[in-house]
Structure 1
Amino acid sequence: MKIIAISGSLRPNSSNTALLYVVAKLAPKNLDLTIYKGLTDLPHFTPELDGDTLPTSVRDWRGLLEKCDGVIISTPEYAYGMPGVLKNALDWIVSSGELVGKPVATISASPSELGGSKAHASLVLTLAALAANLVEGGSVTIPFIGKKLNANGELTDLNTVQSLKFLLDALVRGIIDNRK
């Protein structure tokens, strides 16, 4: 089972990226979870580039999504929405459809008490437009993330670890159901 994990943050010490590393550690050995690090390589979306001669980074991005069985997206919240770089990456797959019917789980973490709920809502709307299969139980918003990570970026809050485990289990179930 192959899962691609995407962080919507470009920050080297991003809490949302740190959460994906936690999920990767929780993954059983038979699950291949890869954290995608190519968001900065994707050009700004424009329909004029979305043709037969795609930029290599876009072709690679689409290929990764096409070959995976499921996707986890973890997004921070900027100005009540998901970061532009994540929206740009998702815009590149509108016409090609790599997420149509694909099981997807979502995470949003924020230092605020709302846990990035507005970014999460924005992400869910975009994923619905892409016809992604948002798996039941595969959605987590995490408030006060700064209090749940130590100085090394390690998650210390056991309830959040458990929530991420449930999210991963839900995604695996969604992938299995999608194969039937």
Structure 2
Amino acid sequence: MRERRVLALSGSLREGSHNTALLRAAGKLAPSGVSITPWDGLADVPMYHADLDTAAPPEPVRALRHEIANADALLLATPEYNASVPAVLKNAIDWASTAADASRLAGKPIAILGASPGALGTARAQLALRQILAAVGAEVVAKPEVIVFHAHERFDERGELADGLTRTLLAGLLAALADRVGPKLSEHDVLQTADRE
């Protein structure tokens, strides 16, 4: 069976970001036959400008669209800024969904997750992100929800995800995403993945 490629984008540009650390953990918890490929080029993507959205867009935009088009699915990690999605992530979605030839997001399986030091985690940001992705025709995985609150307590001193429940939820989310692009995984496979070091 062909390996399924999941493109992972973090909506946080901060060094030491808990959301980027969540994506690293996802790479270790990915089910067999699934690879998690992080892409750190969002900082280089200019703010959306319709006059630049031509057949020859800026190079970072072309690279973003290429990465998304060549992925079987997306994994989006969002922090929560002012009760919503950070501009860098919304900007990437705008560029990816408005290509002159075809949207890169329509019909694309997407899973979302997020971490925040606050008590509500990223619940409001994820709700906003679900609405945005529904508007562009993406296929968003509904459950399980991975909303990591008090994120500074969930990672160890090396930045590794150490919380067992979060690991189980994350493994379940990745299995649900893999189901959208390949054979279904058993509950046994999901739990084994979550327990893997």
Confirm or deny a common fold (TM above 0.5). Answer: yes
Aligned to 1:91: 94
* Distance in 2 of aligned mates of 1:29 and 1:161: 16
Asked if 2 retains the 8 angstrom alpha-carbon contact of 1:105 and 1:139, the reply is: no
2: CA distance, partners of 1:87 / 1:65:
15
In structure 2, C-alpha distance between the alignment counterparts of 1:135 and 1:83, rounded to whole Å? 20
Partner Cα separation in structure 2 for residue 70 and residue 138 of structure 1? 16
Match of 1:48 among 51, 60, 67: 51
Instruction: Kindly indicate whether the alpha-carbon contact (under 8 Å) linking 1:107 and 1:120 is maintained by their aligned counterparts in 2.
Output: yes
Asked whether the 8 Å contact 2:141–2:176 carries over to 1, the reply is: yes
Give the alignment of 1:94-105 within 5 angstroms: 94-96=97-99, 97-105=103-111
- Mapped pair 1:34 → 2:37: yes
Please state which structure has a larger fraction of its residues in strand. Answer: 1
1:161 corresponds to: 167
Q: Does 1:10 align with 2:13?
A: yes
Aligned residues: 177
Give the aligned residue type for 1:49.
Answer: L
Match of 2:193 in 1: none
The C-alpha deviation readout for 1:96-149, integer Å capped at 9, x for no partner, is 311111110000211112111111111111111111001242532111111111
CA contact (8 A) 2:108 2:139 kept: yes
Give TM-score scaled by structure 1 length. Answer: 0.94
Match of 2:138 among 132, 149, 163: 132
1:74 counterpart (55, 74, 77) = 77
Q: How far apart, CA to CA, are the structure 1 residues paired with 2:147 and 2:14? A: 19
Give 1:84's aligned amino acid: A
Residues 123 and 30 (structure 1 numbering): CA distance in 2 closer, same or farther, change over 3 Å? same
The sequence identity of aligned pairs, in percent, is 38
Change beyond 3 A, Cα 1:118–1:136: closer
- Gaps (5+ residues) in structure 1? none
1:22 aligns with 25
CA separation in 2, counterparts of 1:158 and 1:166?
A: 12
Tell me which of 142, 152, 157 is aligned to 1:146: 152
SS of the residue aligned with 1:23?
helix
Segments of 4+ moved more than 4 angstroms: none
SS where residue 172 of structure 1 aligns?
helix
Contact between 1:105 and 1:138, CA under 8 Å: does it hold in 2? no
RMSD: 1.3
